């Protein structure tokens, strides 16, 4: 993403979106998953490709494409099913539930024609589970945000982890 010169309207947009992302982080860390789901459009695509070790001359192959065994390739229905499963108590990998801390920053936002915004954020997700399990996930998220009824909604999210090997026992947390 290209850095654009700061103008009053760009600074206002940046501040508004940063508040949006901070709210999202707190919703996740407080396990308010139903409210978190409301941050997404009905046609959302939530995607986490696999990251591959590739030669420097082939950067286009670093991330697996859609349909090629992604870690997550979810729509709103599937995200809702994941949240409902956590609520049933039948998600044994999350009983007791993980404690998480989502840190989000380095926001870059690019307004698009039609009112949407491309936003890129860096994140660190700390997860503590039971007495001895700890995981730290770092990476970035590419989002397409859409204004809907006066609120920003996530229409597309691509999550890219910095590591290509996931050492966690499960990935039942949201990014």
Question: Could you give the C-alpha distances from 23 to 29, 39, 117, 124, 138, in angstroms and in order?
Answer: 10, 10, 18, 15, 19
Burial class (CB within 10 angstroms; exposed 0-12, middle 13-18, buried 19+) of 77: exposed
* Residue-range domains of the chain with CATH: 8-161 (3.10.450.50)
**Per-residue pLDDT at 1 exceeds 70:** no
* d(C-alpha 78, C-alpha 83), whole Å: 9
Dump pLDDT digits (tens) for 47-75: 999 988 888 888 788 888 798 889 999 99
What the block records as the tokens of 102 is 């989502």
Burial environment of residue 76 by CB neighbours within 10 A (0 to 12, 13 to 18, 19 or more): middle
Query: Would the pLDDT of 5 be above 90?
Result: no
- Which residue is associated with the tokens 């996740």? 28
pTM: 0.90
- pLDDT above 90: residue 171: no
Tokens of 147: 């204004």
Mean pLDDT of 101-124: 97
Task: Name the average pLDDT for the chain.
Answer: 93
Q: Tell me, what's the pLDDT at 4?
A: 63
What are the beta bridge partners of residue 101? 126
């Amino acid at each position: 993403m290209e850095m654009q010169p700061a103008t009053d309207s760009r600074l206002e947009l940046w501040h508004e979106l940063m508040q949006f992302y901070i709210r999202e982080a707190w919703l996740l860390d407080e396990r308010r998953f139903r409210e978190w789901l409301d941050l997404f459009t009905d046609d959302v695509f939530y995607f986490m490709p696999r990251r591959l070790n590739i030669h420097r001359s082939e950067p286009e192959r670093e991330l697996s494409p859609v349909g090629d065994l992604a870690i997550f390739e979810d729509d709103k229905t599937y995200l809702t099913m994941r949240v409902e499963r956590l609520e049933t108590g039948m998600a044994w990998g999350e009983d007791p539930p993980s404690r998480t801390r989502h840190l989000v920053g380095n926001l870059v936002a690019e307004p698009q024609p039609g009112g949407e915004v491309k936003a890129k954020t860096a994140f660190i997700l700390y997860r503590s589970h039971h007495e001895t399990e700890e995981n730290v996930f770092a990476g970035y998220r590419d989002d397409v945000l859409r204004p809907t009824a006066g609120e920003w909604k996530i229409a597309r999210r691509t999550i890219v982890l910095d590591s290509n090997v996931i050492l966690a026992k499960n990935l039942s947390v949201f990014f």
